[in-house]
Homo-oligomer: A and B are copies of this chain.
Amino acid sequence: MRILVQKFGGTSVANLECMKKVREKVLAARAKGFKVVVVLSAMSGETNRLLGLAKEWSNSPDPAEIDVLVSTGEQVSVALFSMLMKDAGVNTRSLLGYQVPVSTDCAHGNARILGINQEKLQELLEKHDVLAVAGFQGCTDESRVTTLGRGGSDTSAVAFAAALGCQCEIYTDVDGVYTTDPNIVSNARKMDRVSYDEMLEMASMGAKVLQIRSVEFAKKYKVPVLVRSTFSDAPGTLVTQEDSRMEAVLVSGIAYDKDQARVTLRDVPDVPGIASSLFGPLAEGGVVVDMIVQNPSRDNKTDMTFTVPRGDLDKTLELMAKIQKETNAAEVLHDLHVCKVSAIGVGMRNHSGVAAQAFDALRRENINILMISTSEIKITCLIEEKYTELAVRTLHDAFGLGKE
């Protein structure tokens, strides 16, 4: 039995017309002889509508009940899609999280998949040619409804592919993963292949093609993920294991993230434990700190600078006001007009000088670098927000990523 997992997001199932396009994709896979597991999201807007109800009903809605509520979105999608497939004469049935089951832990709203009943799936695929699976949802040991967090349908799809040992196609409203944002760089190039690690770095930079956790899952279980467009027949981008072709390229893509704010605690006494007294409370407050720079000490005082998502700035400044008093720091500064720009590529592992090349390119355009952080396969610069587009184009050109 040849099996294929195909996943379609909210915009792909937004209405009847869209769902008919989805059906074409599934019928095409059927024509190639595949049994198809179709993982669907809620119709676009539906999850937000339901969350809106929860907010209207309660200031602090029970997370377990939010899951009961929002999981209806995917349930509606799979029921409607199954009707549509049956109309085309295809033996189809819908499948909800608890019916597989997709076992998860009890972290309502952000549950992790513990296992998928593969035997049951195989059995159902003997009986049906297409299974329309509600993405995003699972259930606990006690058969309570859980959801996997925003974008969790990607994770569902990869988990099903892992359980079935097959390839996973993720359909979305773009036709693949690009070397950078085509809205900024007109000659951005669609990549044929990209490694799990590069995809993870891009996703962490806010590239919305795939949800981070789904890529982690794909990497862990070595599931090849093909990212394609619901609305075209373009071949898409294969997210897969690193290979020599990828390594031959220094930089694969340029990503950027404007959802950044920079915070500086000035003239804080440079004593042991200062970093933890600063970042401990932020972590407890649920603020994800990204780049961190500690200036060299002068007169036993130092400056600590870090970035947080803009939405967390108010909470961060509240916490920092307390910390400033406790640590006797001079002042707290912040800046909303910053942006992260990154060059990403597994090729960096084996080549030196990539960072220097990036800095040099930015310098030639007089773009001042405010902070730098590097990882094995990524170089990130924090710059003034107004230079974002220029910086992205500059780096994209510098590493020769555009179409010929």
| Chain A residues in the interface with B (C-beta under 8 A) | 16, 19, 50, 53-54, 56-62, 64-66, 68-69, 71-72, 75-76, 78-80, 82-84, 86-87, 93-94, 96, 98-99, 143-145
Least distance between A124 CB and chain B CB atoms (Å): 10
**Pairs across A and B, CB under 8 Å, 17 listed:** A16-B56, A54-B83, A57-B80, A57-B84, A58-B86, A61-B83, A62-B82, A64-B93, A65-B79, A65-B82, A65-B86, A65-B94, A66-B79, A68-B75, A68-B78, A69-B79, A98-B143
- Given the complex of chains A and B, what is the CA–CA distance between A87 and B78 in angstroms? 32
Determine whether the beta carbon of B76 is less than 8 Å from that of A53: yes
- When A and B form their complex, which 6 residue pairs have the shortest distance between CB atoms, in order from nearest? A69-B79, A72-B72, A68-B79, A58-B83, A61-B83, A65-B79
Contacts of A93 in B (CB 8 A): 64-65
Q: Which residue of B lies closest to A77 (CB)?
A: B69
For the complex, would chain A's binding face be called helix, strand, loop or mixed by DSSP majority?
A: helix
Determine whether the beta carbon of A50 is less than 8 Å from that of B76: yes
Determine whether the beta carbon of A68 is less than 8 Å from that of B94: yes
Least distance between A384 CB and chain B CB atoms (Å): 43
Contacts of A96 in B (CB 8 A): 68, 145
This chain: copies in complex:
2
- Given the complex of chains A and B, what is the CA–CA distance between A57 and B57 in angstroms? 31
Contacts of A99 in B (CB 8 A): 143-144
Tell me which of A57, A60, A78, A79 has the highest count of chain B C-beta atoms within 10 A of its own C-beta: A79
Contacts of A86 in B (CB 8 A): 58, 62, 65
- Given the complex of chains A and B, what is the CA–CA distance between A75 and B62 in angstroms? 15
Contacts of A50 in B (CB 8 A): 76
- Given the complex of chains A and B, what is the CA–CA distance between A66 and B83 in angstroms? 8
Contacts of A84 in B (CB 8 A): 57-58
- Given the complex of chains A and B, what is the CA–CA distance between A122 and B63 in angstroms? 24
- Given the complex of chains A and B, what is the CA–CA distance between A99 and B80 in angstroms? 23
Q: Which residue of B lies closest to A70 (CB)?
A: B79
Least distance between A13 CB and chain B CB atoms (Å): 11
Contact of A87 among B59, B98, B143 (CB under 8 A): B59
Least distance between A240 CB and chain B CB atoms (Å): 35
Least distance between A352 CB and chain B CB atoms (Å): 55
Least distance between A73 CB and chain B CB atoms (Å): 8
- Given the complex of chains A and B, what is the CA–CA distance between A69 and B81 in angstroms? 10
Least distance between A217 CB and chain B CB atoms (Å): 26
